[in-house]
Amino acid sequence: MKKSILNILLIFISVFVAKAQDMSEIRGTITDGETGEPLIGAIIRIENTEPPVVTVSDLYGNFSLENVPADAKKMLVSFLSYETKIINNLNLPAGGVKIINLVLEKTASQISEVLISAKSLTNTEAAIITYRKKSAGPVNGISSQQISELGDSDAAAVLKRVSGISVTDGKYIFVRGLSDRYSKITLNGAEIPGLDPNKNTVQTDIFPASIIDNIIVHKSFTPDLPASFTGGYVNISTKAYPETFILNFTTSAGYNPQANLRNDFLSYEGGNLDFAGFDDGTRNLPDEASGVVPPLYADNDKLDKITASFNKIMETSHYRSFLNQSHSFSVGNRIKLFGKPFGFFLSANYKINYTSYDNGIYGRYNLVESENGNMMNILISEKEIKGDEEAMLSLLAGFSFKVNENNGISVMFLGNSDGLKTARYREGQKTEDNLYMHEHVLGFLERRFLSGQVSGKHILPGFNKTELNWISSYTFSEQNEPDLRFFNYDGKDGSYNISYNAYPSPARFYRDLSEINSDTKIHLTIPSGLLGGKLSFKTGGAFTYKSRVSDSRKFDVLSQGLPFNGDIKEYLSDENTGQNADDAVYGIYVSNDPLTDDYNSYKAKEYISAIYVTAISDLSDRIKVITGARFENSYTEIKNNVSPFHFKYVSSEKIYPDILPVFNVRYSLSGSSILRFVYAKTVARPSFRETAPYAYYDFKEGVRVVGNPELKRTSVDNIDLRFEFFGKSNDMFSAGIFSKFFSDPIELVDDPRANNPEFHYVNADNSTMYGFEIEFKKNFAFAGLPNFSAGANYTLLQSYVEYVDNYGGEDNTVLSVKRPMYGQSPQVLNLFADYNNKEKGLNVNLAFNAEGKKLAVVTKGSVPNIYKQTFPDLKLNIAKSFGRFIKLKLSVNNILDSDNKKTYTYEGKEYIFHAYGTGRTYSFSVSYSIR
């Protein structure tokens, strides 16, 4: 393995070095200013050379001019009915490669020439802005350049920067305040698994920033996109086709005074590979316990043997923590293979992060009557300490090969592994039972996936340059949660108890989820000769398959009357196991109910097939109309793991055919300002679990969840009206209003008939959402400060959902739910200020993100719902280059030292449900790169 990497390295270097010293190469991409798509067939020519140096941009809009005399001064780029761009002062590196990316604007008038300086032409942000400007619907994006300037570590952190996006739990994205149910995430345009047993959404924290080329967020539906999004469609593109040889090695260290270099970091004894994010088998279910566990008094010898096979670690303890670290290496180049251009990008990433706090508070309240109305009454108040250690490994290999001017193929492999080791301890008063609680939780969550994608792009010359794009993707993924341990007890001052009836008994839980996704998509773009070339079509289809298996097993750790003195290790010792225990009716034993396990486990499948057609017509120079529709047929199936012949077996099938129209008008007020109107219909389908016709117990959350086979998928009418202005130096301004009308929105209610939390998925009555969005970005060149820029985006929105049920009573007992939609923030604000001095290689970036409180936990009855409060997040990045190769970066996260807070609000006063602060993190990185 090492040797082959070395060989590959030698190949680049030889390619790189072998060039004649007085010759240079120019590479770049030409973008169509009209569509934002690559411009194919643009002529790129160097002036005054003999023999002439000239080439044509290929199907990706890419071009490469070789053997350019290093002293060449002037380059011309032209295309019929487009402006000609002339680049002066080329300033080519002798023996090196120069990158020039350009956007060519269409011109109705005579041939116009635009002179540009060669300096700022490597900016990939320009391409994103052009894409935004020209796309059919409202689009936001973020480029690799911005990502590297912002210093974010993964896609979740990057996405926070995008207008109208917020991120919860560090991984689930909310677009325009709509919960993860209403967004869709793809990788290079193909479906990828969402590693959560109860959701269909993708966790975005598993993509390291260094593999991301760009992220595009579509806020309105066009027929070529999957229809199952309402808030936003996010596509993460990985790097694949570098313009020139690149090599990067970055290493960074982070320090958070609360978490790093501490002797009291809360953790537990795990496996030897925990640092790499893998369990080494330490947490595997013991072989003895893999079969049937006999109930007490059925086969006590066997039961004792099984009990003894489990490890005895069920309590948190203190360990030493090291610094946060991250190391990444990437290399890429574009070389010739069989005389054809071949690009590749390889990347390896490793990081480990520690997060810790001892300032957590956990509380529960109810509402009781008093003389002057009601009062909040405390039921539980506990302190919380937590330590998280997360390690991530990721490997990416991307290759692309241009067979000829009209045909190109790309292949990508991405392997990713993430391990999160969690130790949590809570202690405090459970007033409702008058107990002083101690609660230990030990967890390890492994998430892995391996994705392979093949895609191609073909220009069909015989068919008026019809363009064919396809991608086929296949992903394996799994989420394992081996040996999740809970140990609760009560008491203080030397007197302790395990009160089985007041809280869950000590237990071990094993949960595995695996998923296979395959996604094949074809797009055909037909520039028609109709209406003088003013009408074109795009058509295509998709077939997506997803299959998922979720298994869980739970073992209660019980005893019959064994006294507990507060020492967990002693309690679980061999002397206290089963028949060994002298001091008990029966000592420690485990109990497992295979039927309950099978009932809570499931297999599920989903097939979605789709076809679409879109017509794009230029009614005039100013008005562009896009109309079309997509037909999607989805089939889902879920069954639990109980034998099909057992009466507890349940299965459910759903088929939803949908026709989804789009009507979209883009009106150019001037060359730089645009008015858009979009109407589109989209859907939100329930997840597997939500339609499963049975109740299951979510052991981890301690709640029962009841699926609803009658659940209908939500259909949404989306309307967007937006004004956009694109100025010089990437300045932009946009403002828009939008509204969404939901039929049969799926909402979660806590059934008041149940004694304990029991969540039901219901179709609420129709709900609506209105919003206003504003965004700007301004460079301060007008004030003589071209290195300064600043920007902001702000989203204000309001939603309302209502659900009424009388729960078996007469009208007088009708209970209704009237509230904002689950997880919807009333406002989202992002601000940034940037100083970028290219000459000095200095970049300073200050970014702020905040969002309004949003519904986090639905409560029963009249107890106020729980909201997640604003977390104002201020971040600073300072990067400085030293010479051509070295760059140092300093960043400070959570400068304001904000706390995460979920609270009940009653009569203007806040009551803490859960609060903690993780403190500031300082990181420092060094990178060495060649490009």
Partner 1 sequence: MKKRLLKFVFAALIPASAFFIVSCKGESPTEQDPSATVFEDDGYGNITVTDRGNGVGDITFTSDKIWLLNGFVFVNEGQVLTIEPGTLIKGKPGTGENAGALIVARGGKIIAEGTSEKPIIFTAEADNREGTGVDMNAAGLWGGLIILGKATTNNLTLDKAIEGIPTSETRGLYGGNDDNDNSGIIKYVSVRHGGSDIGEGNEINGLTLGAVGRGTVIDNVEIVANKDDGIEFFGGAVTVKHALVVNCGDDSFDYDQGYHGKGQFWVSIQAEYSDRGGEHDGGPSDNETGTPYAIPEIYNVTYISAEDGNSRTFTLRDNAGVTYANSLFVNFDKGIDIEYLQDESGNTAECSFKMFQNGKVNIKNNVFYNVAGQTDNDDFDAAELLKISVPEDENGNPVYEVPEEYKNAWTESFLLNDNIVADPGISSGNPVPENPQTDNLAPYPEGLDEVNYKGAFGDVNWAKGWTLTFK
Q: Which tokens go with 891?
A: 């960043």
For the segment 371-390, give every residue that binds partner 1 (CB under 8 A): 371-372, 375, 377-379, 381-383
How many of the other CB atoms lie within 10 Å of CB of 49? 16
For the segment 29-68, give every residue that binds partner 1 (CB under 8 A): none
Q: What does the chain come to in residues?
A: 931
Site string for partner 1, 145-184 (x = CB under 8 A): ----------------------------------------
DSSP 802-842: EEEE-TTS-GGG-EEEEESPTT--SEEEEEEEEEEETTTTE
Site string for partner 1, 863-902 (x = CB under 8 A): x---------------------------------------
Q: How far is the CB of 756 from partner 1 (least distance, A)?
A: 4
Q: Which is nearer to partner 1, 381 or 768 (CB)?
A: 381
Residue 476 sits in the site that holds partner 1 (CB under 8 A):
yes
Q: How far is the CB of 519 from partner 1 (least distance, A)?
A: 9
Q: How far is the CB of 2 from partner 1 (least distance, A)?
A: 17
For the segment 748-787, give every residue that binds partner 1 (CB under 8 A): 751-756, 758, 760
Interface residue with partner 1 among 117, 565, 633, 837 (CB under 8 A) is 633
Residue 499 sits in the site that holds partner 1 (CB under 8 A):
yes
Specify whether the CB–CB gap between 311 and 269 falls below 8 A. no
Alpha carbon distance 516, 478 (integer Å):
9
Residue 370 sits in the site that holds partner 1 (CB under 8 A):
yes
154: Cβ–Cβ under 8 A, 6 or more apart, which residues? 204, 205, 206, 207, 208, 209
Q: How far is the CB of 357 from partner 1 (least distance, A)?
A: 14
Q: Which is nearer to partner 1, 32 or 384 (CB)?
A: 384
Q: How far is the CB of 658 from partner 1 (least distance, A)?
A: 14
Specify whether the CB–CB gap between 314 and 485 falls below 8 A. yes
Class of residue 561 by CB neighbours under 10 A (exposed 0-12, middle 13-18, buried 19+)? exposed
Q: Which is nearer to partner 1, 611 or 735 (CB)?
A: 611
For the segment 668-697, give every residue that binds partner 1 (CB under 8 A): 694-695, 697
Give φ, ψ of 145 to 5 degrees. Answer: -65, -45
Q: Which is nearer to partner 1, 124 or 499 (CB)?
A: 499
Interface residue with partner 1 among 89, 404, 565, 862 (CB under 8 A) is 862
Element (H, E) at 187: strand 183-187
DSSP 763-792: EPSPEEEEEEEEEEEEEEGGGTEEEEEEEE
Specify whether the CB–CB gap between 890 and 896 falls below 8 A. no
Q: Which is nearer to partner 1, 1 or 17 (CB)?
A: 1
Residue 706 sits in the site that holds partner 1 (CB under 8 A):
yes
Residue 428 sits in the site that holds partner 1 (CB under 8 A):
yes
Interface residue with partner 1 among 169, 269, 653, 701 (CB under 8 A) is 653
How many of the other CB atoms lie within 10 Å of CB of 119? 11
Q: Which is nearer to partner 1, 635 or 679 (CB)?
A: 635
For the segment 302-321, give every residue that binds partner 1 (CB under 8 A): none
Q: How far is the CB of 640 from partner 1 (least distance, A)?
A: 10
Alpha carbon distance 287, 52 (integer Å):
74
Residue 474 sits in the site that holds partner 1 (CB under 8 A):
yes
Q: Which is nearer to partner 1, 252 or 652 (CB)?
A: 652
How many of the other CB atoms lie within 10 Å of CB of 794? 17
Residue 645 sits in the site that holds partner 1 (CB under 8 A):
yes
Q: What share of the chain is helix, strand, coil (3-state, %, to 5)?
A: 10, 55, 30
> Helix count (H) and strand count (E) of the chain?
9, 51
For the segment 712-751, give every residue that binds partner 1 (CB under 8 A): 751
Interface residue with partner 1 among 339, 647, 728, 908 (CB under 8 A) is 647
Interface residue with partner 1 among 532, 644, 784, 883 (CB under 8 A) is 644
Residues facing 599 on adjacent strands: none
How many of the other CB atoms lie within 10 Å of CB of 796? 17
Q: Which stretch binds partner 1 (CB under 8 A): 198-206, 629-637, 712-720, 779-787?
A: 629-637
Site string for partner 1, 392-421 (x = CB under 8 A): -----------------------x------
Q: Which is nearer to partner 1, 25 or 279 (CB)?
A: 279
Give φ, ψ of 727 to 5 degrees. Answer: -105, -160
For the segment 330-369, give every residue that binds partner 1 (CB under 8 A): 361-363, 366-369
Interface residue with partner 1 among 63, 510, 602, 612 (CB under 8 A) is 510
Element (H, E) at 746: strand 746-750
Q: How far is the CB of 696 from partner 1 (least distance, A)?
A: 9
Residue 284 sits in the site that holds partner 1 (CB under 8 A):
yes
For the segment 528-547, give every residue that binds partner 1 (CB under 8 A): 541, 543, 545
Count of residues of this chain found to bind partner 1 when the rule CB under 8 A is applied:
112
Residue 656 sits in the site that holds partner 1 (CB under 8 A):
no
- The DSSP bridge pattern shows strands 265-267 and 317-319 to be antiparallel
Specify whether the CB–CB gap between 775 and 884 falls below 8 A. no
Interface residue with partner 1 among 48, 813, 816, 837 (CB under 8 A) is 813
Closest CA to 591 of 284, 261, 303, 262: 303
253: Cβ–Cβ under 8 A, 6 or more apart, which residues? 323, 324, 325, 923, 924, 925
Q: Which 3-state string (H, E, C) describes 22-59?
A: CEEEEEEEEEECCCCCECCCCEEEECCCCCCEEEECCC
Class of residue 258 by CB neighbours under 10 A (exposed 0-12, middle 13-18, buried 19+)? buried
Q: How far is the CB of 579 from partner 1 (least distance, A)?
A: 11
Q: Which is nearer to partner 1, 255 or 607 (CB)?
A: 607
Q: How far is the CB of 492 from partner 1 (least distance, A)?
A: 8
For the segment 226-255, give every residue that binds partner 1 (CB under 8 A): none
Q: How far is the CB of 907 from partner 1 (least distance, A)?
A: 9
